Structure 1
């Protein structure tokens, strides 16, 4: 597909930029990295009314062209570097129509770079509700650029915006918003001559940012530094003067084009709600109540669909065993692959419900309030407020959460956040927790409302947050740094969730879980089936010969005899040898050799534990009696006849999985983000020690 036009979307955080990107590009999106850096970029294709195709580039949200994070530094680099393959032909600046004064600072900076600009006045519906009246025509005349009123959430005005993009090259370049050259006339002129820069504001930005701009040669950067000393240029003072000049322009613009009806109490609904939801006491109580409701719902609402999926796999395995000829291939497919998959697929409803709730919390604006409230706690343990975003994101997955720490400028805060984020309970732990909780926690209500299983799951999630914060508190005394962090955040207004987006989120996350976990499960299940179905030397033949003796054939019926043979073969298989090798180490935790196998295989991904148990008990069980993994584990017995999965063993396992770094993807992303094997090695070591200690304590307290 030929790209006829490159269009960059630029705007402050929470202006609806990402929503507009999704509306313009639909499903024609790609995610990659900006050239030379590990910061995610999103690009997509938009079909224009005249048949041409525009590449839409979603640049990171920023309040100014003066960057305060690595993400924000990308914006100026893409807009200014003529050699950058993503440099746009046109910039669409998205402004929140209900908060123009703050948004217009970035617009004036982008406009002064003299790249063609279109203004998208987003959230016009909210502006109207707030009694803000904007004279769009006068606004456009004052700026000298096309201004298109839209509502991205309601998909209003999008066709007009596409029309404006189509004719963008027909518009004259916008006028200067301020007299840039007056800020540092001699320096700007000299940089323009020596670095061959025609645009005065571009030259001024080079003076401010030359040390971090990769498209400048070292010689050019050094020369700019010399010129700054020569002309006594002070960057902070120049920025302050520029900001004052820009707000003078903005105030005049808004005075002429925007009117707002004064009310007796000029207080928005969002502010009134925030007085309750972000209250220093009630805010936390409400947050914990919401968490409790979510985890109660995960158990209550998922029970029926989970049972349907479990029954389907039981029926499918039984049917295939009856239809297919007995042999290694049938056993591999039915007991290995299907047995492993069934243990994980049954948790799709719970994963979908969890992500549905997370999407609702994000869409309504409540997740930002949680971040704001938790900032108070974060500062007491030595973390930056921005650390809350990765920690909350860790409920979904540690991998993107660790990548999001790039927004944390302070090295110490960022490293501590990376080191503790995997402690937060992610979606991969959910199948393990719900399986074990269902085995040992009674299914009854407390105070007529709260289900004990839901309370147990809520407790595991809260325990993970407390653990992460506690470890962060310890690490603040271990890691040394002189930098000080800061936290700037804007709370978006409350909105009704977009149910279509919630549905898409549930579908996408469940699909990603199935595809990502499914591939690992199949691979591990096949390997595990081979290891469990074959043994070294002639061990299996000796077992067959042993149980042909009359003392066994005369005292055991065929079903019991087959079960005894299968159990002894599993214990003498390669998998059994592996489990027995580590059993002395894990026996103090209450784990037998079968659980040991699952601990090893689940390093690839925690949810593999469930599939491994399903495969092991399928190989160990009776092919004529197909049961779900939960039933198999519930009836599992030790050699002395006692249940394998007692409350002590189950909670010991949950403590182990709460702390252990059993996720190869997380190890890989920590290495990528820190550029060293030192940090993932330290992380793996301390988490393993914590996992063993917590598991040991839990087992011996509850046994």
Structure 2
């Protein structure tokens, strides 16, 4: 076996959903992971580097989970394409199949299909502890003999079996173990002439791969038009009935699996005692208490985001304030130091202060996924989803939307029903994503009192939870409306396997938190830093006549009133900002947004944050830094915003304007990336345009109503 041009072997990680595949991926790669897209499609591609031995490095490709090699969704089609494409860049040197030992019979169907592709295979058995609790005993050596491929038990959650797995990977790489020596079933006998024809058109390694190309050639990305045409003619010539062939194949596989199970697996009496997981589900999936518990869990999560994050946030905010003040004292007063302090440092501080909350949010989400509770949320809300024209499959993209709408919209590809998928795409951005969290945090801290409720809850945390619930409720309302207008009729089914409950893997939680913090700082930080520097320029410079007039005016005032120099410096800075290019832009749109309680500075932030919602905070940090005098450089952003006033002395940030601004950002489509991904998923600008218009209108009207009622 040869390594690729980078000196690494490609290992494809495949398996059924909830089989422990992601856990093993994290155990093998640690923090050496990256997420992208597969070529030509918008499905997540998760890859990572792993050290197998001192002389062997591997590129691990975590493929979307699937129950069989016959794809039913776009995610499964990507897995299929990587495994069947004989000339693909991602073609694996080794396929590592993760099989759930507690549901071995079902997992062996997929394993048997992979074996027949004639690519070197290793089977990793997970959930062995759960299998033993069920009374299932597996003869690993016997199973290995029956399948003809290496079998090793692993527990990635406890890092057990990983060294043994790496040794087997090294052995396979050195060709001491090769591709499976025998077919699991005789694939050629299912369509001998057709398989011969296809092998002449596509250079596949196995008869079984050729059979799959015959079944799915019209959907495969790697086949060109001429190949598809040739295969179609051959299919027609040989009167190939793919439904009958698939049925025959599955029956043959299960007959062989039955034999293997009888020889290698000892199963417990089916009337065994109910598992602990089922007992827990009796409570957590209860028709009444299940929803109560869900709300309690959400309340704990959002209370913790405020309570736990408050300490590091205060330290970071105070640190950046002190740093700005110190730099103002030690650096010479010139344009270079000004852009460094009021552009770069202010923008960096505006993003860094929210890292603790981002980490805590993703930490909780990872714990919910790790324990198996996230899948229960989908099951629990299926009935509610059906009332608005969706089903439980739509819940996972909506929940993912709490992190980011872009991967959440891509996750809708596993929704087979076209109507439900389109509606889910259109409503997912209404879920409050992590980019909105900094805006909520700043505004809640400014206008919502930090006081206890019922002795144990915090009002600020409850408001935060309310904003997230509001997004979910509005998504359901819009879905119910869209159900009337989207005229696609397809039957919908929701079948979900609920994983067993497990203790969270704290190493995995920590890894995820660090990854998300890194992504937030690097991805969002790049945009914010660029916009902060551009804003510094626009806020520091303006039409020469206006700026000169302001300078002349205040020079005369300082000469006439030397005892008021400090106040005059502050007024001069504010007036220069108001007459700058940024100020002109803000004042131009102020008549439109003033009925919402927004001033021209907020108007600038509304425009810049269309690049990414979290830019709002960086924009405000830059504007208030440029607009303040040198004496105020060590003040925090919240302190500067708290002191902001209209021309008549009224505070800008009141309860009415704060609620108005939070509602605007809760509903507005302030994200170019989301619109771009909706266009890619729907292959049209029509739906993104509809989405932008309805969300902007909803945001404006909600903010207007809130401000007029509360002011």
Distance 1:194 1:536, change over 3 A: closer
Equivalent residue runs for 1:225-240 within 5 Å = 225-226=232-233, 228=235, 232-240=239-247
Q: Name 1:34's counterpart in structure 2.
A: 38
Q: How does 1:10-29 map to 2 (within 5 A)?
A: 10-29=14-33
Distance 1:532 1:261, change over 3 A: same
Distance 1:56 1:453 in 2: 43
- Confirm whether residue 665 of structure 1 aligns to residue 665 of structure 2: no
Gap change, CA 1:623 and 1:283, over 3 Å in 2: same
Aligned to 1:106: 110
Q: 1:532 touches 1:576 (CA, 8 Å); kept in 2?
A: yes
Q: Does structure 2 conserve the Cα–Cα contact (< 8 Å) formed by 1:50 and 1:166?
A: no
Distance 1:197 1:301 in 2: 55
Q: Are positions 1:350 and 2:354 aligned together? A: no
The separation in 2 between residues aligned to 1:196 and 1:346, in whole angstroms, is 55
For the 8 Å contact 1:136–1:257, the answer to whether it is kept is: yes
Q: Aligned to 2:158, which of 143, 154, 160?
A: 154
Report what 2:488 is aligned to.
481
Q: Which residue of structure 2 lines up, in the alignment, with residue 300 of structure 1? A: 307
Change (3 A) 1:229 1:601: closer
Q: What is the Cα deviation at residue 263 of structure 1? A: 8.1
Secondary structure of 2:60's counterpart equals strand
Deviation at residue 554 of structure 1 after TM alignment: 4.1
Aligned with residue 641 of structure 2, among 625, 630, 633 = 633
The 5 A counterparts of 1:37-186 are 37-49=41-53, 51-168=55-172, 169-171=175-177, 173-181=180-188, 183-184=190-191
Residue 650 (structure 1) aligned with residue 654 (structure 2): no
SS at the partner of 2:99? strand
Cα 1:338–1:45 change in 2 (3 A) is closer
Q: How many residues align?
A: 703
**Equivalent of 1:398, from 405, 420, 431?**
405
Residues 640 and 290 (structure 1 numbering): CA distance in 2 closer, same or farther, change over 3 Å?
same
Q: CA deviation at 1:551?
A: 10
* CA offset digits 1:180-204 (Å, max 9, x no partner): 4554566556766887878443343
For 2:427 and 2:472, how far apart are their aligned partners in 1? 10
Which region of structure 1 is more displaced relative to structure 2, 292-301 or 20-29?
20-29
Which secondary structure state, in structure 2, belongs to the residue aligned with residue 119 of structure 1? strand
| Per-residue CA distance 1:1-22 (angstroms, 9 max, x = gap) | 7546443222111112222233
2: CA distance, partners of 1:698 / 1:522: 32
**Contact map agreement 2:86 2:205 (CA 8 A) in 1:** no
> Following TM superposition, by how much is the alpha carbon of 1:220 offset from its aligned partner in structure 2, in angstroms?
5.0
Map of 1:670-689 to 2, 5 A cutoff?
A: 670-689=678-697
**1:595 and 2:602 correspond:** yes
Question: Gaps spanning 5+ residues in structure 1: where?
Answer: none
TM-superposed deviation, 1:149:
1.7
User: Conserved in 1, the CA contact under 8 Å of 2:410 and 2:681?
Assistant: yes
Shift of 1:239: 2.3
Alignment RMSD: 2.6
Cα distance change of structure 1 residues 442 and 33 upon mapping to structure 2, 3 Å threshold: closer
Contact 1:345 1:514 in 2 (8 A): yes
Q: Give the Cα–Cα distance (whole angstroms) in 1 for the partners of residues 216 and 301 of structure 2.
A: 46
Rounded Cα–Cα distance in structure 2 between residues aligned with 1:34 and 1:178: 31
C-alpha deviation, 1:381, in angstroms? 1.5
Contact 1:547 1:553 in 2 (8 A): no
Q: Does 1:418 align with 2:425?
A: yes
Q: How many Å apart are 1:27 and its aligned residue?
A: 4.5
Distance, in Å, in 2 between the alignment partners of 1:332 and 1:128 is 64
- Offset, 1:635: 2.0
- Specify the SS of the correspondent of 1:253: helix
The SS at the match of 2:607 is helix
Write out aligned runs for 1:237-386 (5 A). Answer: 237-262=244-269, 265-386=272-393
- 1:661 CA displacement: 1.4
User: Contact 1:148–1:160 at 8 Å: present in 2 too?
Assistant: yes
Moved more, 379-388 or 420-429: 379-388
Q: Which runs of 5+ in 2 are unaligned?
A: none
Residues 1:511 and 2:515 are matched in the alignment: no
Q: Deviations over 1:627-662 (max 9, x none)?
A: 111111212222222221111100110111111111
- The equivalent of 1:495 in structure 2 is 502
- SS of the equivalent of 2:544 reads coil
Q: Verify the 8 A CA contact 2:528 2:615 in the aligned structure 1.
A: yes
TM-score by length of 1: 0.93
> How big is the shift at 1:695?
0.6
Kept in 2, the 8 Å contact 1:9–1:94? The answer is yes
What is the alpha-carbon distance in structure 2 between the residues aligned to residue 182 and residue 386 of structure 1? 38
- For the 8 Å contact 1:111–1:174, the answer to whether it is kept is no
1:196 & 1:558 partners in 2: Cα distance? 82
Q: Distance in 2 between matches of 1:44 and 1:151?
A: 19
User: Would the aligned equivalents of 2:285 and 2:380 in 1 still touch at CA under 8 Å?
Assistant: yes
Equivalent pair of 2:656/2:707 in contact (CA under 8 Å):
yes
TM-score (ref. length: structure 2): 0.92
Give the drift of 1:484.
3.7
Partners of 2:203 and 2:340 in 1: CA distance: 68
Q: Deviations 1:335-370 (Å, cap 9, x if unpaired)? A: 232223323322222112111111111111111111
Going from structure 1 to structure 2, the CA distance change for 1:690 and 1:326 (only over 3 Å counts) comes to same
Aligned equivalent of 2:705: 697
Moved more, 28-37 or 293-302: 28-37
Deviation at 1:215, TM superposition (A): 4.2
Larger mean CA deviation between 340-349 and 627-636 belongs to 340-349
- The answer for the alignment partner of 1:7 in structure 2 is 11
Return 557-566 or 450-459, whichever deviates more.
557-566
